[in-house]
């Protein structure tokens, strides 16, 4: 029982620790990390883990991860994966991941945080010895936000390993910590009782039972402390003292039914049957599937009979008998439904996942007898874990069904793309080849001009800088010169002289403006470079898009085939496990309901005999009364 309680408390503290991480979460501005938190805050741990796993895998594949924004929060991301895995009940993987962090060369504070988390997992997986070793390995600085969590976990581990004196020492110091308001005190009380200091333990529990708080968790632990004290005192033969503590338990809290029942027995034990009737009469109006209510159905007429109100007792026994019979019918219906497989179907209703009180809601469904006693079944940790595993497996099964549909759609997209591009790409490629060769030619020309200009800086070549008009004039002069090359008359000589003069003029003009022309040539080349850069940009963009077009349908076949195979294999395993897990749940439910059935049958027998006895006594009493005067 102790272990069970501590584990439950551990879960509670886990959520506390999670909530206390808020500043770190607020800093988690990396969008993908934030997206994972968004999922996790809604209890969707599968998607949260998938998101972070994907991001971390991409991060570790980067050539230079230090440039990625995730770099600054990679430890936080790793811890978060561990947290999510823990919440998704993947203790093995979370443990492995955290051990890897501990073994890496990280800051001592991070290693200590990892050790704390690992110890937490070890407590949850029922391995307190390993947890003790892990928690003892914490040395040096501990992050501020988990300091009290580490202390509380250490105390829990000490309690689980029988080191009550050490646990007491820690829990005493933790009592002032607002985060563990009530929880530290309750555990301290238990540790003191377990260490043999019963009276000290009662005093601490008494204080816990008087805490003033609005927090639902603290109020629940307050009720639990009072209920525990009350029951311990009843068991110790001090029922009068017990009432004081039982009266403190709230009438509408999770422990109210048990407290009302015990309160009635505490009063009955000191002979105050009229007072015992007060809590029991409240209790018998509550949901009759509750064990405490069923017991009160016998308790109330018992109190009336002790008050010698045998007629009233007989009526209430009759009422109890009626209710027990109805409950037995319900149990039979529940058992029948379970055997027909309806129980498992009810547990996996989609609409229930939206409601945090789904277990309570299920009990109220008129057409689902298989779930009337679910709340009682949920009292068992084993059942809760098995149920959660079953629900998770059902979720995996549904996801894989959806994935197969998605893969069908992907293949359809790929095939349509292939078909479309098969018609378009050959024409595009031909046109591209043509443009590509033209572009290359132009780029070669540009390079030749660049080389020529560079050479002209070393050895000037004015003729290279002649304008088109000047080159035409030069060619015309060459033509005229050719025309007169055989004419040795004075007119021919005159033409040659004039040609020479004109050539000289042309050369003079080019040489005197050589620097200006060279500068202008460089300027034009620079302008050309702008256009070339734009051309290259368009070229690269085209190449990217062209590659993207091919990549949009090529290379997926193997990947999709492999994924389909993996999904098929995983689905087979999930189906097998679901069947096994379902059998376990059905067996557990059937066993529990059979036990409840057996108890109700015993109650029924008791009620039947007690009713008969009460009727006898009532009749006898009536007969003993003097006849009324006429």
Partner 1 sequence: MKRLRKYVLFGGLLLLWASTGMADEVSREQIKGLDEQVQDIKEDVLGISAELTQLEEKLLYPSNTQVSVFVSFDNGANFPLDSLKIKIDGQDASSHIYSYKELGALRAGGVQRLYTGNVSSGEHTLDVSMISKAAGTSAITDVGSYKFTKSVKPALIEIHLGGPGSIGFRD
What is the nearest approach in angstroms of partner 1 to the Cβ of residue 284?
13
> Would you say 281 and 300 are in contact if contact means Cβ atoms under 8 Å apart?
yes
Distance between CA atoms of residues 162 and 158, nearest Å: 6
> Would you say 135 and 150 are in contact if contact means Cβ atoms under 8 Å apart?
yes
Closest to partner 1 by CB, 505 or 605: 605
What is the nearest approach in angstroms of partner 1 to the Cβ of residue 170?
25
What is the nearest approach in angstroms of partner 1 to the Cβ of residue 183?
20
Residue 177 Cα to chain centre, angstroms: 28
Closest to partner 1 by CB, 156 or 386: 386
> Would you say 88 and 36 are in contact if contact means Cβ atoms under 8 Å apart?
no
Closest to partner 1 by CB, 56 or 167: 56
> Would you say 307 and 273 are in contact if contact means Cβ atoms under 8 Å apart?
yes
Closest to partner 1 by CB, 157 or 229: 229
Tokens of 18: 């999670």
Residue 541 Cα to chain centre, angstroms: 40
Closest to partner 1 by CB, 28 or 321: 28
Closest to partner 1 by CB, 417 or 509: 417
Closest to partner 1 by CB, 467 or 576: 576
> Phi and psi (nearest 5°) for 354?
-80, -15
Closest to partner 1 by CB, 174 or 304: 304
3-state secondary structure of 1: coil
Alpha-helix runs per DSSP H in 340-380:
342-347, 358-364, 374-377
Listed in sequence order, the residues at least 6 apart from 597 whose beta carbon sits closer than 8 Å to its beta carbon are 328, 331, 332, 335
What is the nearest approach in angstroms of partner 1 to the Cβ of residue 399?
7
- SS3 per-residue string spanning 403-424: HHHHHHHHHHHHHHHHHHHHHH
> Would you say 218 and 181 are in contact if contact means Cβ atoms under 8 Å apart?
yes
What is the nearest approach in angstroms of partner 1 to the Cβ of residue 258?
6
Phi-psi region of 489 (alpha: psi -120 to 50; beta: other; left: phi over 0): beta
What is the nearest approach in angstroms of partner 1 to the Cβ of residue 513?
44
Residue 173 Cα to chain centre, angstroms: 33
Distance between CA atoms of residues 603 and 193, nearest Å: 34
Picking from 508, 520, 507, the residue whose alpha carbon sits closest to that of residue 456 is 520
3-state secondary structure of 536: helix
What is the nearest approach in angstroms of partner 1 to the Cβ of residue 304?
12
Through-space distance between the first and last CA atoms of the chain, rounded to whole angstroms: 66
Q: How far is CA 335 from CA 330, 358, 361, 592, in A?
A: 8, 20, 19, 10
Closest to partner 1 by CB, 151 or 273: 273
Tokens of 22: 């808020």
What is the nearest approach in angstroms of partner 1 to the Cβ of residue 371?
17
What is the nearest approach in angstroms of partner 1 to the Cβ of residue 41?
4
Closest to partner 1 by CB, 142 or 392: 392
> Would you say 563 and 407 are in contact if contact means Cβ atoms under 8 Å apart?
yes
Distance between CA atoms of residues 534 and 561, nearest Å: 42
Residue reference for tokens 């991070």? 110
Q: What angle separates helix 74-87 from helix 108-124, to the nearest 10 degrees?
A: 10
Closest to partner 1 by CB, 3 or 524: 3
Closest to partner 1 by CB, 50 or 145: 50
What is the nearest approach in angstroms of partner 1 to the Cβ of residue 342?
20
Closest to partner 1 by CB, 523 or 573: 573
Residue 437 Cα to chain centre, angstroms: 56
Closest to partner 1 by CB, 175 or 363: 363
What is the nearest approach in angstroms of partner 1 to the Cβ of residue 390?
9
Distance between CA atoms of residues 173 and 176, nearest Å: 7
- Rg, C-alpha atoms of the chain: 44
What is the nearest approach in angstroms of partner 1 to the Cβ of residue 438?
24
**Cα dihedral: 415, 420, 425, 427 (round 10):** 150
What is the nearest approach in angstroms of partner 1 to the Cβ of residue 233?
12
Picking from 194, 129, 136, 118, the residue whose alpha carbon sits closest to that of residue 161 is 129
């Amino acid at each position: 029982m102790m272990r069970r309680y501590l584990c439950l408390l551990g879960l509670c503290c886990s959520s506390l620790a999670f909530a206390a991480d808020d500043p770190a979460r607020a800093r988690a501005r990396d969008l993908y990390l934030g997206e994972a938190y968004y999922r996790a805050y809604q209890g969707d741990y599968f998607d949260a883990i998938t998101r972070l796993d994907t991001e971390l895998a991409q991060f570790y594949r980067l050539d230079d991860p230090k440039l990625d924004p995730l770099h600054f929060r990679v430890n936080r991301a790793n811890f978060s994966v561990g947290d999510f895995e823990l919440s998704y009940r993947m203790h093995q993987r979370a443990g492995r991941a955290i051990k890897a962090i501990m073994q890496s060369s990280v800051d001592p504070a991070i290693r200590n945080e990892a050790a704390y988390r690992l110890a937490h997992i070890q407590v949850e997986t029922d391995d307190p010895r390993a947890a003790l070793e892990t928690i003892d390995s914490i040395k040096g600085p501990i992050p501020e936000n988990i300091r009290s969590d580490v202390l509380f976990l250490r105390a829990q581990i000490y309690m689980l390993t029988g080191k009550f004196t050490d646990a007491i020492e820690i829990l005493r110091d933790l009592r002032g910590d607002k985060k563990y308001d009530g929880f530290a005190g309750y555990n301290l009380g238990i540790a003191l009782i377990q260490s043999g200091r019963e009276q000290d333990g009662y005093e601490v529990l008494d204080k816990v039972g008087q805490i003033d708080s609005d927090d639902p968790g603290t109020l629940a632990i307050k009720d639990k402390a009072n209920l525990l004290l009350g029951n311990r005192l009843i068991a110790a033969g001090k029922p009068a003292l017990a009432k004081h503590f039982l009266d403190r338990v709230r009438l509408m809290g999770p422990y109210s039914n048990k407290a009302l029942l015990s309160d009635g027995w505490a009063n009955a034990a000191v002979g105050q049957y009229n007072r015992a009737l007060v809590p029991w009469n409240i209790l018998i109006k509550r949901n009759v599937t509750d064990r405490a209510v069923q017991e009160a159905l016998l308790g109330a007429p018992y109190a009336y009979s002790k008050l010698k109100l045998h007629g009233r007792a007989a009526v209430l026994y009759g009422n109890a008998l009626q209710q027990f019979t109805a409950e037995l019918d319900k149990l039979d219906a529940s058992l029948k439904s379970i055997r027909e497989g309806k129980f498992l179907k009810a547990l996996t209703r989609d609409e229930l996942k939206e409601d945090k009180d789904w277990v309570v809601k299920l009990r109220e469904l008129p057409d689902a007898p298989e779930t009337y006693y679910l709340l009682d079944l949920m009292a068992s940790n084993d059942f809760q874990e098995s149920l959660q595993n079953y629900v998770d497996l059902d979720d995996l099964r549904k996801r894989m069904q959806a994935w197969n549909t998605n893969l069908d759609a992907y293949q359809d997209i790929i095939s349509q793309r292939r078909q479309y591009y098969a018609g378009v790409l050959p024409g595009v490629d031909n046109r591209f080849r043509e443009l590509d060769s033209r572009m290359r030619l132009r780029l070669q020309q540009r390079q030749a001009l660049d080389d020529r200009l560079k050479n002209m800086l070393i050895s000037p070549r004015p003729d290279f800088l002649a304008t088109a008009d000047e080159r035409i004039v030069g060619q015309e002069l060459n033509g005229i010169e050719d025309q007169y090359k055989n004419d040795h008359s004075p007119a021919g000589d005159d033409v040659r002289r004039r040609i020479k003069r004109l050539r000289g003029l042309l050369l003079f003009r080019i040489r005197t403006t050589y620097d200006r022309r060279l500068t202008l040539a460089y300027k034009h080349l620079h302008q050309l470079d702008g256009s070339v850069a734009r051309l290259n940009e368009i070229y690269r963009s085209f190449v990217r898009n062209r590659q993207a077009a091919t990549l949009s349908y090529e290379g997926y076949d193997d990947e999709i085939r492999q994924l389909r195979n993996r999904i098929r294999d995983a689905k087979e395993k999930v189906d097998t496990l679901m069947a096994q897990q379902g059998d376990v749940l059905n067996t557990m439910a059937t066993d529990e309901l059979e036990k409840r059935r057996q108890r109700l049958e015993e109650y029924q027998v008791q009620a039947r005999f007690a009713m008969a006895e009460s009727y006898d006594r009532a009749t006898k009493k009536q007969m003993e009364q003097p006849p009324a005067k006429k």
